[in-house]
Structures are given as C-alpha cells and as structure tokens.
Homo-oligomer: A and B are copies of this chain.
Amino acid sequence: MSKVYADAKSALDGLLKDDLTIAAGGFGLCGIPENLITAVADSGIKNLTICGNNAGVDGFGMGVLLNKRQVKKVIASYVGENKEFERQVLAGELDLQLVPQGTLAEKFRAGGAGIPGFYTRTAYGTRLAEGKPTRTFDDGREYVLEEAIRADVSIVKAWKGDKAGNLVYRKTSRNFNPMIATCGKVCVAEVEQLVEVGELDADQIHTPGIFVDRIIQGARYEKRIEFRTVQGAAVSKKESENPEQLARREQMARRAAKELRDGYFVNLGIGIPTLVANHIPPGINVTLQSENGLLGIGPFPTEEQVDADLINAGKQTITALPGASFFSSADSFAMIRGGHVDLSILGGMEVAENGDLANWMIPGRMVRGPGGAMDLVSGVKRVVVLMEHTARGASKVLKTCTLPITGKGVVNLLITDLCVFEVVPGQGLVLKELHPGVTLDEVKAKTEASFRVAL
C-alpha cells in the first residue's frame, strides 16, 4: 500500500468536495503547501472552511482560493496582506473567525491529540473569549476553555519526506505544519525532496509517517517572500522621510533596551520594538524569540543569505545565530504561554491605568487579527509596551481602553515618546521617568489616565 502519488492532483483524488474543512500549514507564505493549494483551487470545490494561521495574499497561498470565491469561512490568527479577503469580509460574503495564534496552534494540536478542549489564559477578558466557558484553577486565576479543531483534509509542506510519510521541516517553514498534519481525517503532504524509506534519521523526524496518508514531491516551488529585508534596509523609505519620528522611536527603543538583563529570552513585536535589537547594552547577552518558531534571531541577511524558509514573525527575512533552535508554532507558544520568555516588548494603540492593553483591532475598520499578541501579553513574564503618547492630539494613555483589549491588566511598563510609566498591581500607573526636555505638566496635559508621580 503506497502513500506516494505522482502529483498534487492525483494525491487529492477522491478527497475533495464542496463544504469541506481544509487546514493548511504555513506562516504567511513560509512553508505553505503550494502545489496542493493550486490543486484545490483547480478542483473548483466551493463553500470551503479553511483553517491556518493566515489566509495567504492576493493571488498566492490560500489567497488563491479566496480570489476564486471557493471559501465561505476562514479560521485564522492574522489576515492582513490580503485585499480581496478584506473586501469579502466587509461585504459579509465571508465568515471570519479570528483566534489568537498560540491558541490556534494548540487547537490544531489538540485536534490531532484526542484532546477535545483545554484551558488557556490567552484572550481572557477579551472579545475573542466572549461566550466561552471559563474556570478558575489552583493559582486563583481564570482561564478560557478552547475547543480542538479537526479538519476533513489537512495539507502540509515539508522539506524532506520519505515514502512512509515521515517528514522533516526546514527552519521557520516548520511553523503550523506539524500540528496541521495531525488534525486532519486525511493528511496529504508535499515535500521538496522525497527520499527512500530509511534515509531519514529516526531521531530527527518531525512528523512521524503515521500522520501522513499521502505524499508527493512538489512539482515546483516558488517560495515567495512577503518582506524581503536585507542588512542596512531596516529603515524604510517612509521612515527616513520623517527624521523626527525616527529619532523619537529610536529613543523609545533605547529606553526599552534598558529593561534587558543578561540571559534573558525576549520577544520583540513588529514595528518600533524591532528596533530594540539595535540597542542591546554591551555585556548583556539576550536571546531573541520569534513566535513563528525560532530562538536565536540574528541580524537581517545579506543578499546572499536571504532564505525564504527563514523569516521572523513580521514575515521579514532574517538569519539565525549559532545556538539557535527551530520548533513548531505549538512549541513556540508553549514557551510563551508557559512563562518561559522573560520579556515581551510590543506596540500599543491604547493602555489603560489598570494595565489593560489594546493593540489588535479598530472596530469599523479592517480587523487584521491578534496574531500572537494575546498569547504574548498573557504568557510572558514581563510586558513592556512602546507607544506614542498621543494620536492626533488625543491621549492614548487612558482611564479605560475604548478599543477592544488584547489583554486584561497585562502591561508592566509603558514607554511613550514622553515618559515611562510603571503599572503597579492594585495601584495603577506610576510615572517613573520623563524623557529629556519633557515636563511633568506636558505629561499631565497629554494623559487622560490618572497616575501617581514617583520621579
């Protein structure tokens, strides 16, 4: 009984029909089953529910299925970078269920592992947990019950595979693939290199063949890169046109870098937080975590080093340092949710005086999804937010968040372009520092939240 098929079309033969739930591996466009997606698109089946971390981009990845109007529902953590998707959701043509990234990875794992539900702190108190059962555990905190996801068909992409279906992934293209492989009633895998049984080291197989029903060597791989970023190109053209803003941001990043301690494991969010990596104090050795499955982020690559299988959570090309390790999204968020990451530095839209953070959506405008933000703020030991103090003259440091929150009472330190607030549990905001040239009166005038001063 051979698992090997000639091509993507024949590998899906007999499995495809309207109304299926299809789960697909990949993070952004990294590690997606390109050939199988094309075959699903070519099949013309409709009314699909598709699950995966993202929904591709216009015209590539799972985006192809959206362009062809084959999809009725999407379950994902982040759906930016896709205009046709946005149009369909806003027009009510598409049902979108957003799930925090770590919860999503765990839901797929649970689906494959015979665990119908699990509890997590992620999203507690946010609209993504509305209506879900909660339970208080021994630590006195409340947790949300999340249910497993199972798919009719799961499609995954690996680097190497053998004819028994054993799979090995490469770098950050592992991401959601291992869990997705387990959650389908049927799993079809495509690989760049199909080898004979016995050629893979039994200690180094990421997905054992028991999970893979059919396997193909992919005909061709485009391996498109979403944000090709090389050394020296970290400052975008738009940013270089606004040197004052850039200077403010560098100042915030420099201040945030003072929170680093030797030996720390740190997750840096997209945007200003990424700049913190440029300001690590001498003698301080920190390991940067990327929630798509890497510990040990290095600098941006040279042109020659650019590797489509090696990206960060912002989907930029990066490098990995000696001592780095790659792992699945489920393992990555186990790290994050389990409190093993020492520090998370991320951007914000609003911070409230009780430590609530809002940074994932603006109702009425497009929802891009929480990505890993809800997991990070709930799980990481210490959360530092970098945020401009005001937006169009209005304070972003508030008594209560007006936007839907990312986490309840999660912020430990807030660094704005004016000052630094500590959030003291039960006491609220404490003003600890003013940036050079900033007066207390200016901070008072631009802060809606009440705060104590301890300069």
Give the interface of A toward B (CB within 8 A). Answer: 1, 106, 109-121, 135, 137-139, 143, 147, 162, 164, 166, 168-171, 174, 182, 197-198, 202-205, 208-211, 262-263, 265, 285, 287, 289, 295-296, 320, 322-327, 331, 333-341, 378-379
Contacts and interface: CB of A to CB of B under 8 A. Distances in A.
Given A113-B338, A117-B135, A210-B295, 7 more contacts: A114-B121, A114-B378, A116-B138, A116-B139, A116-B143, A118-B118, A209-B323
Contacts of A115: 106, 118-120, 337
B166 A325 contact: yes
Per CB-CB distance, the 9 closest pairs between chain A and chain B, nearest first, are A198-B322, A114-B337, A113-B334, A116-B137, A197-B323, A205-B325, A118-B118, A114-B338, A208-B325
Contacts of A333: 113
A211 B340 contact: yes
22 contacts: A110-B118, A112-B338, A113-B338, A114-B336, A114-B338, A114-B339, A115-B118, A115-B119, A116-B138, A117-B118, A117-B119, A118-B118, A118-B119, A197-B322, A202-B320, A202-B326, A208-B325, A208-B335, A209-B323, A210-B287, A210-B289, A210-B340
Contacts of A120: 114-115
A265 B210 contact: yes
A150 to B, nearest CB: 9
A112 B379 CA distance: 11
A111 B338 CA distance: 7
Contacts of A295: 208-210
Contact of A202 (B121, B147, B296): B296
Contacts of A339: 114
A121 B135 CA distance: 19
Contact of A117 (B109, B143, B162): B143
Most buried by B among A112, A262, A334, A379: A334
Copies in the complex: 2
Nearest to A162: B323
A334 B118 CA distance: 14
Most buried by B among A113, A333, A339: A113
A202 B324 contact: yes
A116 B116 contact: no
A369 to B, nearest CB: 21
A166 B106 contact: no
Contacts of A170: 203
A381 to B, nearest CB: 11
A236 to B, nearest CB: 29
A171 B324 CA distance: 23
A289 B204 CA distance: 17
Contacts of A138: 116, 147
B204 A204 contact: yes
Contacts of A327: 205, 208
Contacts of A137: 116-117, 147
A104 to B, nearest CB: 14
A106 B162 CA distance: 28
Contact of A379 (B114, B202, B378): B114
Nearest to A133: B135
A265 to B, nearest CB: 5
A338 B150 CA distance: 11
Contacts of A109: 334
A121 B113 CA distance: 11
Contacts of A296: 202
Contacts of A106: 113, 115
B117 A334 contact: no
A337 B285 contact: no
Nearest to A378: B114
Most buried by B among A117, A120, A168, A211: A117
Contacts of A325: 166, 202, 205, 208-209
A109 B118 CA distance: 12
